[in-house]
Amino acid sequence: MAENSAINPILEDEVFYRRISQVYYKPPSGIDREAFLPTSADTNGLSLSRGHVGQQKAAESGRCDREFYVGEIRARDFPAGLSIVPDSNDHALIPEMTYAARKSNDKATKDQLRQWAETLRRRCTNIVGPYRGRGPIPETR
């Protein structure tokens, strides 16, 4: 039997999870904006897990030598100017928020990226964890 390769579209009420390093979340003060800025791994856009994956599994996709919290944000709560593009039924990207944009020399690009990150930080709710990551540790060069 052939596997269904169709990717489900994003729904307005769909929940997404952002994995947040323990470095960027300190209860009760909250989430640091850095949690929503792209890292060097975000070459195609800021990474999100789709809601059906579950919070614990979203956290466990992180590297095994760290702990992570997971924050929730609904598609309808994303700021104007951002799109959510599913790249699988378990994962999506925000293509406007790339590491290249973060490292850009253009002040307007960097300012917009920081503004989006701040808006996402404020709209992120239901933070749970910490959970130990189970993913591989990236090789250093």
Q: H or E stretch including 115?
A: helix 107-123
Other CB atoms within 10 Å distance of the CB of residue 101: 20
Q: Report the share of the chain in percent with pLDDT over 70.
A: 96
Only one residue has tokens 């709209």, namely: 123
Average of pLDDT values for 105-128?
Answer: 95
Mean pLDDT score across all residues of the chain: 91
What are the residue ranges spanned by the domains of the chain?
15-132
Q: What is the pTM of this model?
A: 0.88
